[in-house]
Amino acid sequence: MRLPIKPVYLPMEAVQVDEIPRGEQWQYEPKWDGFRCLVFRDGDSVELQSKSGQPMARYFPELVEAVRALDPEQFVLDSEIVIPEGSGISFDNLLMRIHPAASRIRKLAAETPAMLIVFDILVDANGTLVAGQTLTERRKVLEKFATQHLKGEKSIRLSPMTTDFNVAKRWFGTVGSTLDGIVAKRVDVSYRSGERTGMRKVKRIESVDCVVGGFRYATGKRLAGSLLLGLYDEDGLLHHVGFTSGIKASERVALTAKLEGYVEPPGFTGRAPGGPSRWSTERSTEWVPLAPRLVVEVSYDHFTGGRFRHGTRLLRWRPDKNPRQCTMEQVERPQSRSLLLLDKAS
């Protein structure tokens, strides 16, 4: 590539904070729930690079073609890859794209095509480096790029932004589960590859009561390492939905003894903890079933595909809670309308 910057070029990242920062120096954007992606175009050569620097073009051939079809032959964009589902987006469908079989990827690309939501520009439509300019200046360049080259393009869209704190609060308070939160960016800062300077992210954190349907011993020890969490469905089946491992070292001995007093198969009467995968070892798939008597409250950021996407944080034990009250209804959310925000970027 003849571009001023080339892969691997790490994106600028954000520091997570608890509250949306306020002040004239901040610009606000939705935090999309997808894969971060730097887009490099130089003639027919198109590269899609992940946040960690890995190539992703083979997983999203439809996006490669969409980028190649744009008029400018040289540019670099910062974006998020998402897969639309109704007026929201589906992270589960996105995960399915990371597949070794090209035939499977082509099939999914036709059935559930992906979208690029663009929020920054590093090299403009003339092939000129603009990463050194302030965010205010880069946004003007990006909006000009979108106006001239993205009009009518359904698979590459401009992400909205606002400098109004109240609008940012409204986005954060009303979006559904497919929007990850809000990103605040300093308007006077240049694009700083690989740094966490000048950007803040605020994610939606919620809590839920779960049945402890089992546990795993810590590797190499006879002490509890993680609790396996369950929720009841409408048919009364207890499904494994994730885990939490935030057990204080000072409490492990007493907790292990307590858990061992509740050992009773099957633990989960619905979906049980999975078997070995490419990320797990034989040891990590071993677990001990418990009678459904214990309840904990945990915090989480995403519940999708019937489970917590990431590990949860243990908040407290709930001896006052009836395990049968720990139902899937706690994590059910109305269909997100997050993609409708894109219409405001026009």
Instruction: Fill in the DSSP letter of residue 108.
Output: H
- Contact yes or no for 241/306 (Cβ under 8 A): yes
Partners of 184 in beta bridges:
28, 200
Q: How far apart are CA 275 and CA 82, in angstroms?
A: 29
Tokens describing residue 302: 């995403």
Q: How far apart are CA 345 and CA 142, in angstroms?
A: 11
Dihedral (C-alpha) 85, 88, 89, 92: value to the nearest 10 degrees? -70
- The question of whether 31 is a catalytic residue gets the answer yes
Q: How far apart are CA 210 and CA 306, in angstroms?
A: 13
- Contact yes or no for 314/247 (Cβ under 8 A): yes
Q: How far apart are CA 135 and CA 220, in angstroms?
A: 50
DSSP letters for 142-209: HHHHHHHHTTT-SSEEEPP-BS-HHHHHHHHHH--TTEEEEEEEETT----TT--SSEEEEE--EEEE
Q: How far apart are CA 187 and CA 199, in angstroms?
A: 10
Tokens describing residue 207: 């809590």
Q: One of 6, 31, 151, 201 is an active-site residue; which one?
A: 31
Tokens describing residue 150: 């993205």
C-alpha of 232 from chain center: 25
- Nearest residue to 215 via CA among 282, 278, 264, 250: 264
- Amino acid (one-letter) located at 323: P
Active-site positions read 31
